[in-house]
Structure 1
Amino acid sequence: MMKVAVFSCKPYDQRTLSEAAVHTPSLALTYFESRLSPETMSLANGFDAIACFVNDNIDRHVIEYLARHGVRAIALRCAGFNNVDLYAAKAANIKVYHVPDYSPTSVAEHAVALIMTLNRKTHRAYHRVKEGNFALEGLLGFNLQSRTIGCIGTGRIGQAFCSIMRGFGCRVLCYDIAPNDALISQGCEYTDLETLYAESDIISLHCPLNASTHHLINSQSLAKMKDGVMIINTSRGALVNAQQAIDALYSGKIGYLGLDVYEQENAIFFEDMSSNIIHDSVFQLMLTFPNVVVTGHQGYFTQEALDHIAATTLENLTHFEEDKPSPRLLNP
């Protein structure tokens, strides 16, 4: 039986993983709510594999410790892997797996929810009505039909997002190093970033975080956009330079900002911080703007996605245990 330490495990993760584990009796799961980090890595002692999430710290130091203590596989319960040192893992002979597609429509639909909330100001209307204020002044929105939407990154999530926006009757501009023929057949247009910046009313980010996309949204790229542009990020926090986005909010260059991710989210997201002082002045300032909506990395959070993540994570671990090839292995 392979012993697996599950880190960053919330009650909903434990429920779905335990349900899925009924079908994989060869795996023995032990759940830890703690995130994996240099401070907590000793919890992995005695385990054959670990299962981690998006904000666990799996750097070289952690990986070398895990290897010395017998860990041979890392199963990420997410698509992104920028928090893992894959080179160190390969050198340590630790295989790393991920979940590349966990209900892409979940994140795509959340991006659309942010667009609709910001546009029609339902977050503000909700509080007004609860206070008996039914005035409409200040709640004016615009029709999405015929607006130009820019989508950066057209993988599974980006494709789902573009299809939804085409359903609204929008013109959809796309940028990706690998154009998607299915989107072209739906009427989406692939173009360069310069054109996408200049012509889009709304720009939604669905690309991975790497050296070329780090702080993709910055003062230089924002200067090329329309005044009052709406920026949506449900991908990775570091795609947006938060301080420069705040400067653009002050100037009116950004008219609406919707974030489900944040560059420094590791210190605050997925936890109840309501009784704590959040020691992040940039994040706190961002929350004061009436045209900013921030959610706590919940784009993926649907029952369908959780079930798929659990099933795929356990399948990845089973493939490792049985030495089977897997398309989800990140460091073959």
Structure 2
Amino acid sequence: MKKIAFFDTKPYDKIYFDKFKDEFGFEIKYFESKLNPDTAYIAGKYDAVCAFVNDDLGKDTVNELYDNGINIVAMRCAGYNNVDFKEAYGKVHVVRVPAYSPYAVAEHTMALLLCLNRKIHRAFNRTREYNFSLNSLIGFDLNQKTIGVVGTGKIGRTFINICKGFGLNVIAYDAFPQKNTDINYVTLDELFEKSDIISLHCPLTKETHHMINEKTIEKMKKGVYILNTSRGSLIDSEALLNALKSKKIGAAGLDVYEEETEFFYEDFSYKIINDDILSGLIAMPNVIITSHQAFLTHEALKNIAYVTLSNLSRYFNNEFLENEICYKCQKYGKCDREKEKRCF
């Protein structure tokens, strides 16, 4: 029976992994600590590692895992910007869950928009104190407003369908537009200029890092709403905070934050947060921040667990790893996996 070391685990992780582990014949040891160069040695007693979005899979961690006999890391998520793939190539195979529930993330994005627009969060706090005033709770009709969707993968397309149900006029940008669709693609500059609402659903790359910044914000409509349920570093947080203060940006709904690794998934309610930008954003009445929970539905957790364990099973059974990714996949768009082999 193969033994798997799970890092950065929470109680909800165990629900479906415990349900499926016997089916795949795995023994799982859950660790609350994040994976990083200081904790990677723990994996020496195990056959594989399972990691999450805020674990550190940089050069030092990869080499520590490799030196401890680990040749497979299963990411129980779709994102992988925390992995040094160039260092991992030839040493550690990396598999992921490319799609677990686009509906979960897309629906959470719409929930953020609805809550922000109709001031649900503020109304909730008021009525709990028996304050039934409607002052400053005015929203706007979504119908016929223009929403710009950046990224039209599975999540982006699912979100577009939801938006159409609300009567929103949808425009979109993607570096690699979907073919044979009715999506109204525009340039990124046009999207920034025309949108009443902008929603980010693209991966974090060198090209998309801080795509929302001081200069691009200048191109936007005054009072634009910004939604981000993708990756925190798509937005320059300081520029966002300044634009909120100046009222150039009307509201922001964020499920991610560029410095979230230190904070998200943990309880800091009894501590002082030494991050002035995060504290400033949280203090804004027109900002809602959720701690990277857009994926958190029973359906998504079930799919994540099953696909993650299936990925590991295929590795140990010397089968084709359809969900493997390496730096050649990223940089060149091809590697040996195209020939139904492994990346290396």
**Does the TM-score normalized on the shorter chain lie above 0.5?**
yes
Letter of the 1:15 counterpart:
I
Report what 2:153 is aligned to: 155
Note the alpha carbon deviations across 1:280-317, whole angstroms, 9 max, x for none.
11110111111111011100000100000000000000
Which residue number corresponds to residue 9 of structure 1?
A: 9
Aligned position for 2:53: 54
Q: Deviations over 1:137-176 (max 9, x none)?
A: 1000000010000000010110110110011111100101
SS across alignment from 1:113: helix
Opposite residue 129 of structure 1, the aligned amino acid is: T
**Which residue of 2 is the match for residue 275 of structure 1?**
270
Q: 2:73 matched to which residue of 1?
A: 74
SS at match of 2:23: coil
Distance (Å, rounded) in 1 between the aligned partners of 2:245 and 2:276: 16
Give the aligned partner of residue 87 of structure 1.
86
**Of 95, 100, 104, the match for 1:97:** 95
- For residues 5 and 218 of structure 2, the distance between their equivalents in structure 1, rounded to whole angstroms, comes to 47
Query: Which whole-Å deviations, capped at 9, do the CAs of 1:119-138 have from their partners, x for residues lacking one?
Result: 00000001111111111110
Q: CA-to-partner distance for each residue in 1:20-79, whole Å, 9 max, x for gaps?
A: 112111x22111111101121121112121000000001111111111111010000000
2:288 aligns with: 293
TM-score with structure 1 setting the length: 0.97
What are the superposed Cα offsets for residues 226-249 of structure 1, whole Å, 9 maximum, x if unpaired?
A: 000000000000001010101101
Deviations 1:199-241 (A, max 9, x none): 1000000000010000010011100000000000000000010
The residue matched to 1:13 in structure 2 has which SS?
helix
Is structure 2 residue 17 aligned with structure 1 residue 22? Answer: no
Residue 122 of structure 2: aligned partner: 124
Identity, % of aligned positions:
44
Which of 170, 173, 191 does residue 172 from structure 1 map onto? 170
The whole-number CA distance in structure 2 between the counterparts of 1:7 and 1:15 is 15
| 3-state SS of paired residue (1:23) | helix
* Alpha-carbon distance in 2 for matches of 1:180, 1:136: 43
Moved more, 36-45 or 101-110: 36-45
Q: Give the counterpart of 2:111 among 99, 110, 113.
A: 113
Counterparts of 2:264 and 2:187 in 1: how far apart (Å)? 33
Give the residue type in structure 2 aligned to 1:201. Answer: D
Secondary structure of 1:272's match? coil
Name the CA distance, whole Å, in 2 between partners of 1:246 and 1:308: 36
Q: Which ranges of 4 or more aligned residues in structure 1 deviate by more than 6 Å?
A: none
1: distance between equivalents of 2:90 and 2:221?
Answer: 47
Q: Please report the TM-score for the alignment, with normalisation by the length of structure 2.
A: 0.93
Partner of 1:307: 302
1:201 equivalenced with 2:196 (yes/no): yes
Q: Which amino acid in the other structure matches residue 247 of structure 1? A: N
Partner of 2:249: 254
For residues 65 and 188 of structure 2, the distance between their equivalents in structure 1, rounded to whole angstroms, comes to 41
SS of residue paired to 2:225: strand
> Runs of 5+ in structure 1 lacking a partner?
none
Q: Distance in 2 between matches of 1:12 and 1:285?
A: 30
Distance 1:81 1:246 in 2: 27
The alignment yields a C-alpha RMSD, in angstroms, of 1.0
Q: Give the AA of the match of 2:52.
A: F
Aligned residue identity for 1:39: D
Amino acid aligned to 1:95: H
**1:180 Cα deviation from its structure 2 partner:** 2.3
Q: Aligned AA for 1:322? A: N
Looking at structure 1, the residues matched to 74 and 172 of structure 2 have their Cα atoms a distance apart, in angstroms, of 32
Count of residues paired in the alignment: 327
* Aligned-partner Cα distance in 2 for 1:178–1:266: 29
Deviation at 1:181?
A: 4.0
